[in-house]
Structure 1
């Protein structure tokens, strides 16, 4: 009986240990590592926790080693250094090298997608494949194709100032409205809102400012990694745009990225991984299978 109890306890402890990720901290982000297999790096968006990838990790950790980031200054993590984008990119490059990650699949949502593109354009050899979830090389040109980083600078500066100075009550009221346009489920809206409230407003403002004043469109030509872009169009429906029209805008943004595949989610809002995970996984599964077949033929 004692032996049986011991074996059961050992089994439970083993399961518990498997569920606990290895945690590594750099100057710019925290990493939680789940599973085993080919490395896959997951970067969340603005003011989000790496927990946003929870369903993704559950699906892929049996075949991939998932390195889940939470960026400094977001969701309770200590703030990192500025300039934000450059410091995160450099730390991510160093992390890939120090962990000896070979041809990692880099997955990024929104700001995380922008960071993935920035790394792959700066150091093409560091990215094996890219999976970009509703992100573009220059966010300012989505609504105004004539916009430039310079023309957006005053607006970006004003927005940064507003974000930094707001109270938590003001942030809650404003973000509740914004997130309702980005996420369908109220429970997920509350969860993402809490991550934002636990974030450093100064770092949120800085990250927004830098992304609005950084144009990566011409740099797309330097990316060598096979890339899939999964976009959302539904937020533009009230403005009279349909899926194909929004897709054209995305294709223009990525026109210099050779071989890129752009697909729009049928109805999911900006947080596609929360709104329609099954559709998202179907696209990702097909992409990963295609890449596995292509690499097997080399």
Structure 2
């Protein structure tokens, strides 16, 4: 069990893709649908808007960034730093250097008077990308550290009828561009805004490993939105297991161990990943997936993101969680040890039940997929 939390479960899906933002702009008292592509392949991102005529601002098209393709993401918020475009010409282009959520204002200047023509919210280098499928009661699936949202697809396929699923992937993995540190707080912020802005009510949040930490944070922050939690082999404070007596302030990004990991060549890194991931699943196919995801992961996100996790201690925050919670544990190395650990770590959580998957390591979705689906479906429909 402890070995499971010493490991770093890794992930990546496809090559970096730009994000596609869709919104509605009030232009000359007309509601015009607009579309803007924001590249997520690097820390720099830009977009351009081409009016059909320099003086006709009610009608315009959006220029495609050269060489880009589109992948859907979700706008998060509007109360963000404002970037003012210069006066309109045939093409107006601005470049946003830092990842984040922005409100972009385009102005037309005439005779010394500036008039706002376009106001847009754009998401640059998103920390999370969410794939929504189905219709009905909302269930959000949060993967573990470096695992792709698609790891939940077999579970989603077995959900009961009238369920809308939200599968989440994280920046730096799954082919998504990395974001600046601190990494974990950015994931949490964007998930909170997504839930609020999409008015998700009676939301069930399912989280594996680190995804379970995010689930606890979301339930504590959004008690009026989150109705149930399912935590899959997640622990509120990994540091307590791995480094007893070490405080969060002693965990730093710039440590000798982190520098060693960042400097490690691919051969040494792959060897380390294979040793770690071997303790995570008994499934050969699952191990192959873990290795592919680890090798493809952004190295800085791997190192600094895990540092964020070691700083976490959600044991006191559990007192704020009112949602009924199902805790699912893996039996490795023994069901007794896992039961004792969960009972101690989740002592502050009021409404909870604990179930242990037999003959399973950390990735229960690989080792006991039918058992996992049955537990999730029964709890969702209860």
Among 238, 249, 261, the residue aligned to 1:163: 261
Does the C-alpha gap of structure 1 residues 176 and 34 become closer, same or farther in structure 2, counting only changes over 3 Å? same
Q: How much does 1:43 deviate? A: 1.0
Name 2:316's counterpart in structure 1: 218
Higher strand share: 2
Deviation at 1:155, TM superposition (A): 10
Report the equivalent of 1:57.
156
More divergent stretch after superposition (22-31 vs 191-200)? 22-31
What's the counterpart of residue 343 of structure 2? 251
Kindly report which structure 2 residues correspond to 1:90-239, keeping only aligned pairs within 5 A, or say none: 90-142=189-241, 146-150=244-248, 153=251, 157-234=255-332, 236=333
Structure 1 residue matching 2:371: 3-state secondary structure: helix
Could you tell me whether the CA contact under 8 Å between 1:159 and 1:209 is conserved in 2?
no
User: 1:151 deviation in Å?
Assistant: 7.8
Q: How many residues align?
A: 262
State the alpha-carbon separation in 2 of the partners of residues 158 and 66 from structure 1: 41
Say whether the 8 Å CA contact 2:330–2:356 is kept in structure 1: yes
Quote the offset at 1:183 in angstroms: 1.2
Seen in structure 2, the aligned counterparts of structure 1 residues 102 and 158 have a Cα distance that, compared at 3 Å, is farther
Question: How far has the Cα of 1:148 moved from its partner?
Answer: 4.2
Alignment check: 8 A CA contact 1:142 1:249 kept: no
Structure 1 residue 103 displacement after superposition: 2.1
| TM-score using structure 2 length | 0.64
Q: TM-score, normalised by structure 1?
A: 0.81
Cα distance, 1:213–1:156 mapped onto 2, change above 3 Å = farther
RMSD over aligned Cα atoms:
2.1
Q: Which residue of 2 aligns with 1:24?
A: 73
Mapped contact 2:327–2:352 kept (Cα < 8 A): yes
Greater CA radius of gyration, 1 or 2? 2
- Greater fraction helix: 1
Q: State the alpha-carbon separation in 2 of the partners of residues 106 and 61 from structure 1.
A: 16
